[in-house]
Each structure stands twice: as structure tokens, then as C-alpha cells.
Amino acid sequence: MKLHGVIYCGDNLDWMRQFPDEFVDLCYIDPPFFSDRYYEVIFKDGQEIRAFEDRWKGGIEHYVEWMRERVFEIHRLLKRTGSFYLHCDYHASHYLKVMCDGIFGQAQFQNEVVWYYRGAGVSPRRYGRRHDTILFYAKGEEWTFNVDDIREPYAEATVERFQHYIGNVRRDRDYGEQKLHPKGKHPDDVWQIQPIAPSAKERLGYPTQKPETLLERIVTASSDPEDLVFDPFCGCGTTLAVAHLLKRSWLGIDVSPTACKLIKQRLASTGATDVRIVGIPYEPEELERLQPFEFQNWVVGIMAGTGSESRGSDMGIDGYSFMDRDPIQVKQSHSVGRTEVDKFETAVRRAGKSKGYIVAFSFTKGAYEEVAREKRESGLDIELLTVEELVEQFGR
């Protein structure tokens, strides 16, 4: 099992249980927040519609237990000198802190980093909610912390008052000999970093995407070149991209096939080569368990097509084939019948096309008869593809 330069697709708990002990230098996670939010977003390339939700119907206890299993595995995978950062918000940060204390030990807690950012939209009934929390733990008694690489500029007033002491020793009445470091001041645990602007080149359309500047600070501080950086909730791949740019090794996991493909594209844009995705589902029972939008993206992707950009009235068209842009309809169901075929035929005509594809797990006899009748009478060519036939025709 390769443990660097790979994106594993699937449940991170299942994958982590297959990994050996103590090989990770730094782990950062930005898991789904306990926020009952629902998102629908079109990725920046305009080719895929992705909807996803972080709902936890079992309540906070269920959420914390779900997280506990995964943090336990992360602790096992970390080297004795490894570090762990858990990104969360006000919904569950206090619960997760207690849970992490139980796994790492309260003495191994290093910082509660406050990521502060400005923004619009404030309730008149409370203070503005303008920060996330990042919990920082060390596994053992020694850990990497490259403080000189993340020092911050001194305040202008400090420079004016103590410019003669920057890089030189000075005597302080209360603290003895002091030295102002030439690279700047020791960073505090409150970081003011703006989220990614909607128009920023960095933005990929992923609603919870974190700025590279935030990850650069974490990766720079808590790892060295060639160290292994691990993100088992890697989303759109910010951690992995930053790790690659900073000359670290990396390893990622995400449950979404769509996200895994996006990460591979993003890493390629940073110069990463030979990036592998392991675990993309191909077996029917695996594909049936995918979320509907993931199944739709999987079908369109394996056909090398592009997704429909419409969020609503797409006339039953979920994507378009490569080159000819013939309509594709995706049905995550069995026994798709004559009625569904008839509706799709209408959509294909409205699109001004003479060919289209319907993909499903199986079709009824009536569906095949309708396709044959329409082709004979009007020349409209609708190809019915089962998932099994799709894998055989387009390969893995």
C-alpha cells in the first residue's frame, strides 16, 4: 500500500485502519462541521454540479463519536514527534476539545488557534461571528515547530521605539536580557487571515474551501521538507496542494469521487506528477450507495463528458458526451421503463440533437421497445447503457 502521493477515495475510517502505525509527521483535518447546513454549488470549471450536506441527525453525541473513531486512528498514525490540527467552529469546538484531550492527553494540547476574518452579515441580536477554532496537539514530548519561518512583522510603533535592539541584546528591568528577533515577533494564537474572495483565482467553488495562506502557516510551522503531511478530509485538496508546493510529501483521503478527481487536477496544476487515485467505485453495489449527485458525476466522468450547468430545469439532461455533446441522462435505479425513455426523447429533440444516452442499472423490455420504435420511425437514436455495460465500454 503506497503511503504518499496517493488520494484514497472512500470512508477515511476504513482506509486509515489499513495504514501502519506512526508514519505521519503532520495531520490537518477540516471535517464537516456540526452545522446542519446544505450546499449546492457548481465547481469553477462549470462542468460538475456538486451538492453535499453536513447533517448529523443523531445529535452532537453521534457527531463526536463519529469524530472520535477517526481521531483515534489519526493518533495511531502519527509519529511520536507528530502534530495534529483539528479545524472546527463554535458548534462543536468545546465538545471536540474534550474528546481530543481524552485521546492525546490534556498535557499534549498546545494551542487553541483563533482564525479571525472580516466579513459582511451580522445579526443585530449578538456579536458578529468572525472566527473558526483550530486545535493544535502534539503526540509526544518533542515535535516540530519552525517558529522562525512563521514570525510576523513587528508593529510599526515597536520598530520605531526599539529599532536599535532588533537582532541585538537589550536589558529589561523585569525580564533581564531580551533580544528582538530580526525576522519578526513570535506569532500569537490569533491569526487574521481573510477567507478566499469569490473572484479569487484560488477559488474552486468548494463552499468550505480554506485559503492556502492558512495552510501554508500550519504546514510550514509543523513540518519540514520531505515530511509527510496527511489530510483524511481533503475536500478540494488545499492541504495537499500546499504541502506539494512546500516540498513535503502528502497523503489524502476523501469520500467523494468528484472531490478526488478535482484534487488530482489541482495537484497537476502545481506540478505534481503521477498522482494516483485509489478506490474510485466501479462495482454496482458500491455505485448504488453513492449520493445521487456523486453517481451522476461518476457516470458523466467515466464517459469523459461534461455535466449540465443547469441547477434546475435541465429538461432531464444531466450531462453531454465528449466531442459531439449528445445529451446524457443518469438514473440511479433499476428497471427504467418506457415512460422515462419517452420523456428523454422529448428533451433530446428540444436540445436539437439526434442522439442521446440513458444510463441506469437496468431497463425494462418496454424501454428497449420504445428506443427501437423511435429509431425506426424518426431516426432518433437513444442508447440505453447499463452500469455494467458502461464500465466494460469505457473502462476503469
Q: Say whether pLDDT at 315 is over 70.
A: yes
Residues in the chain: 396
- Region 373-395 average pLDDT: 91
Indicate the burial class of 251 (C-beta count within 10 angstroms; 0-12, 13-18, 19 or more). Answer: buried
Mean pLDDT value across the chain: 88
**pLDDT at 52 (0 to 100):** 53
Query: Which residues neighbour 274 within 8 Å (Cβ) at sequence distance 6 or greater?
Result: 5
The helix-helix angle for 257-269 and 292-302 (nearest 10°) equals 50
Does residue 304 or residue 299 have the better pLDDT? 299
Give start-end residues of each CATH 3.40.50.150 domain in the chain.
6-148+188-278
pLDDT band per the 50, 70, 90 thresholds, residue 282: confident
pLDDT digits (tens, 9 = 90+) for 322-375: 888 999 999 999 999 999 999 999 999 999 999 999 999 999 999 999 999 999
In the prediction, which pLDDT does 40 show?
54
Identify the pLDDT of residue 281: 87
Q: Residue 116: pLDDT band by 50, 70, 90 thresholds?
A: very high
Burial 142-154 (b: 16+ CB within 10 A, else e): ebbeeeeebeeeb
Torsion-angle region of 137 (φ positive above 0: left; ψ -120 to 50: alpha; else: beta): beta
Task: Please give the pLDDT value at position 177.
Answer: 52
pTM of the entire predicted model: 0.82
pLDDT of residue 132: 95
Looking at residue 212, its pLDDT comes to 96
pLDDT score of 58: 73
- Of 35-49, 225-239, 285-299, 313-327, the range with the lowest mean pLDDT is 35-49
| Closest residue by Cα to residue 371 from 348, 338, 322 | 338
- CA-derived radius of gyration, the chain: 26
The C-alpha cell at 277 is 487515485
Q: What is the mean pLDDT of residues 274-297?
A: 89
Residue that wins the pLDDT comparison between 62 and 174: 62
Domain(s) of CATH 3.40.1350: residues in the chain: 284-394
Helix, strand and coil percent figures for the chain, each rounded to 5: 35, 25, 40
* pLDDT at position 238: 97
Q: Between 3.40.1350, 3.40.50, 1.10.357, 3.30.70, what CATH number should domain 284-394 receive?
A: 3.40.1350
Integer angstrom CA distances of residue 285 from 52, 80, 275: 21, 39, 27
**Please, which contacts does 2-6 make with residues 24 or more away whose CB atoms are closer than 8 Å?**
2/276, 2/278, 3/228, 3/251, 4/228, 4/249, 4/250, 4/251, 5/249, 5/250, 5/251, 5/272, 5/274, 5/275, 5/276, 6/251, 6/252, 6/275, 6/276, 6/277, 6/278
Number of C-beta neighbours around residue 8 at 10 A: 27
- pLDDT of 219 reads 98
Q: Tell me the CB-side half-sphere exposure of residue 85, using CA atoms within 13 A.
A: 27
pLDDT value at 293 more than 90? no
Selection from 260, 80, 271, 20 nearest residue 252 by Cα: 260
CA atoms within 13 A on the CB side of 217: 20
Is the pLDDT at 12 greater than 70? The verdict is yes
CATH number of 6-148+188-278: 3.40.50.150
Confidence of residue 301 (pLDDT cuts 50, 70, 90): confident
Contact 260, 277 (CB under 8 A): yes
Phi-psi region of 197 (alpha: psi -120 to 50; beta: other; left: phi over 0): beta
| Residue 382: predicted pLDDT | 97
Residue 169 has pLDDT above 70, yes or no: no
Question: What pLDDT, in 10s, does the model give residues 173-194?
Answer: 554 555 677 788 899 999 999 9
Residue 47 has pLDDT above 60, yes or no: no
Average pLDDT over residues 270-277: 92
When pLDDT is averaged across residues 236-249 and rounded to a whole number, the result is 97
pLDDT of residue 53: 55
Res. 291 pLDDT band, cuts 50 70 90: confident
Nearest to 361 by CA among 382, 320, 331: 331
Q: For residues 97 and 110, what is the distance between their CA atoms, to the nearest angstrom? A: 12
Burial of 241 (0-12, 13-18, 19+ CB in 10 A): buried
Residue of 217 and 169 predicted with greater confidence? 217
Q: What's the one-letter identity of residue 360?
A: A
CA-based nearest residue to 298, from 384, 387, 383: 387
pLDDT at 55: 54
Higher local confidence (pLDDT), 154 or 339: 339
